[in-house]
Structures are given as C-alpha cells and as structure tokens.
Amino acid sequence: MRERAATLAFDDPINIQYTSGTTGFPKGAALSHHNILNNGYFVAEGVGYTENDRVCLPVPLYHCFGMVMGNLAAISHGACVVLPAPGFDPEATLAAVQAERCTSLYGVPTMFIAELGHPRFGDFDLSSLRTGIMAGAPCPVEVMKRVVGEMNMGEVAICYGMTETSPVSTMTRRTDGLVQRTETVGQVMPHLEVKIVDPDTGQVAGRGEPGELCTRGYSVMLGYWDEPEKTAEAVDAARWMHTGDLATMNPEGYVNIVGRIKDMVIRGGENVYPREIEEYLYTHPDIADVQVIGVPDVKYGEELMAWIVMRPGAEPLTAEQLREFCAGSLAHYKVPRYTHVVNGFPMTITGKIRKVEMREQAVDLLGLHEAGSIESA
C-alpha cells in the first residue's frame, strides 16, 4: 500500500463515476482523491458525525451518495457504517436502524416514502435516529415533515449536487428549521462557490430571480472521461460547472431548486416548473408519490401529465378529480390534463426518477406519435 501511495498525487483521478442518466445517457465523470475525500469530509461535518455515530446506508455504494456522502463521510470521522441489505429493502432498512441503534439514515425521497408507507412502519423503534441525509431528488414538504416527526430525524440534512461535483454543492445545516429543509437545499458548502446566472446571457441573476445554478471549487470533476467536447459543454473556461438546474437564492444565501431546464414545460408560451405542481399534489391525502411531465400537444405545444402513486387502500384518482383538487390553488395552465396511476416510476439504478423514459411511455400511452394526433379541449 505504501508503494502504491508513493506513486499517487492527491489530484490524480481515482474514480470514474457514471452520472445517473436521468435526462439522457450516462457519462463517466473522472473524480480525483481531492474531489471525493474533501466532499465526504465536509458532508460529515455538516451532520456532526463523530466516532459515536452509526450510519444506516441503504443507498448504492457504486454512486456518489453511498461512496462519498456515506462511506467517506463516515470513515473520515470514525463513524460506523451499517449495510441493511444487498439492495434497497424498506423493511430491512427499518429493522437495521432498530437492531443497530443507528443515529443516521440515508435515502432518496422515494426510499423514505417506501419506509413511511410500509405496513409495519409503526412496529420499529427509530428513537436512536437524530440525523440523516435526503438527496438525489427534490424532497416533498409533506415527506420531510413526516421524516422529522415520525422517524425522529430532527437534524436531517438536505444535500444538493451532482456526480460532476463529487457530489454535494449545497447543504442545510443542523441548526436550520423546517422551512429551510423543506423550501431550500441549504447554503453553499465550505470552500466552494455557487452562482445563479441567466441561461441566455450568462449574467448573474438578482437575488430571488431564477437562473441556472453553477458551482466552482475543489469539487468540480476533472472532466468526462475521454469526452473533451462534452466536458467543455459542462465546465466553462473559468471552471464553473453548469448544472442544468434552475434555482433561486434568497438574501441569506439559501438556494431553492425550481426545476431542471430540460424538465421545464412550455405550455402555450407559459414556463411551467413541474416541481411546483408536484409539491401541491403531495398535499392530497390519497397521493403517496407524484411526478409531473410534459407531453406533446398540437394546440399548446406541451400539456401536463401527472403520474401518481396512490396510498394503500385509496381509489385511483381521475383527471377530473385531480382538476377539482387543483381548482383555485393552481393557475389553470398548471393543472395536469392527463393522469396516470402507477405502482412506481421508472428509475435509474441509483434511485433517481427517469422523466425522459416517462415521457417516452406517455407518448405511447396517449397515442401522441404523430403531431396533432390529440388536441386539447
């Protein structure tokens, strides 16, 4: 080991980490020792790990969530890692927390939703938990409230980032309240910079104005492996990583992710951000999970479609019932025209929802292969 270490430098590539491929084909992000060890260390600082912590890690170890935010965060602070099962299993995860007296639990929102919705959820003692990390996708407000209140995770952190930034760029703090945890993805991490720019001009946006979130600092990847053109598209000459995410920043420096530029739906000239609609639909008492996408439409360019997972025992919602629920709370052009009740969503191997695949399936489901085949009423 000493001989091998003597041949390495801290900024050498140590890992080729494939992106999740939520909006297209995965690319290999080359990450250095410097990238991942620093990021893991500062994530652990953010949740206050010590050698007394026991981290339940049901997320994949071959991606940044498990490898960096999980393993490296724990190892850098002497904490214990608990692996509940070979793959994600909500009951095994809950059982591991109870049996090992875990103090921290990780997961993407869909994992927490599965745990909270498990028929035996109330049978497990989760009183040892104090913190954890929810990342990988925007967290619905109602889910966060239940995680804090019913899973005893009062210090749970929201982390935002991407594979190309090793991964975490912003994070909520232990002292942040429910508002910061449910309405933002926290503040910039130590030794990093973030800015929000107009996607068209590249100029920095004003506080509270939406724009593309960019990150710069030690966490930015060396580049996409053997893809210099793709690297140049993502990382500019000043070493700013362009995330493709739309965000706002408030005067206190808290960042709110509005949505992905590629996910934005343009309906009749109006820009619609699916996340806003999803947040409202999560408040429906019969909806366990929901994703909103845009589908082709001859009249408006795009129409909205809601994919819905119902709570156990609830009757499937119709499009008319959903419209009635949204009436008076969402602008008319933000109300989904179509609904599709499913048992789950197509996901990447790391647990992120593949909206690009959902759109492809929706075109088949609704018969929208030919332009103009369906016209809005």
CATH number at residue 283: 3.30.300.30
Inform me whether the pLDDT recorded for 346 exceeds 70. Answer: yes
pLDDT band (50, 70, 90) for residue 20: low
Do 161 and 36 belong together in one domain?
Answer: yes
For residue 373, tell me if it sits in a domain.
Answer: no
For residue 259, tell me if it sits in a domain.
Answer: no
Q: What is the mean pLDDT of residues 118-144?
A: 91
Total domains, the chain: 2
Inform me whether the pLDDT recorded for 24 exceeds 90. Answer: no
For residue 212, tell me if it sits in a domain.
Answer: no
Tens-place pLDDT, residues 212-221:
999 999 999 9
Greatest C-alpha distance within the chain: 71
Query: Cβ neighbours of residue 261 under 8 Å, at least 6 residues apart?
Result: 199, 212, 244, 245, 246
Do 15 and 127 belong together in one domain?
Answer: yes
Among 12-16, 23-27, 50-54, 228-232, the range scoring the smallest mean pLDDT is: 23-27
Q: What is the mean pLDDT of residues 359-372?
A: 81
For residue 185, tell me if it sits in a domain.
Answer: yes
Handedness of CA 310, 25, 40, 50 (dihedral sign): positive
pLDDT band (50, 70, 90) for residue 347: confident
Count of C-beta atoms within a 10 Å radius of residue 271: 12
For residue 237, tell me if it sits in a domain.
Answer: no
For residue 213, tell me if it sits in a domain.
Answer: no
Q: Give the domain-ending residue among 138, 165, 189.
A: 189
Do 52 and 175 belong together in one domain?
Answer: yes
pLDDT band (50, 70, 90) for residue 377: very low
Q: Give the domain-ending residue among 189, 206, 223.
A: 189
For residue 248, tell me if it sits in a domain.
Answer: no
Do 182 and 280 belong together in one domain?
Answer: no
Q: What is the mean pLDDT of residues 319-329?
A: 95
Do 130 and 15 belong together in one domain?
Answer: yes
Inform me whether the pLDDT recorded for 38 exceeds 90. Answer: yes
Do 11 and 107 belong together in one domain?
Answer: yes
Do 25 and 163 belong together in one domain?
Answer: yes
Which residue range is the domain that position 49 belongs to?
2-189
Tens-place pLDDT, residues 63-113:
899 999 999 999 999 999 999 999 999 999 999 999 999 999 999 888 999
For residue 371, tell me if it sits in a domain.
Answer: no
Please give the radius of gyration of the chain, using alpha carbons only, rounded to the nearest integer.
Answer: 21
CATH number at residue 86: 3.40.50.12780
- Is this prediction's pTM over 0.85? no
Do 277 and 180 belong together in one domain?
Answer: no
Q: Give the domain-ending residue among 189, 221, 240.
A: 189
Q: What is the mean pLDDT of residues 175-192?
A: 93
pLDDT band (50, 70, 90) for residue 268: confident
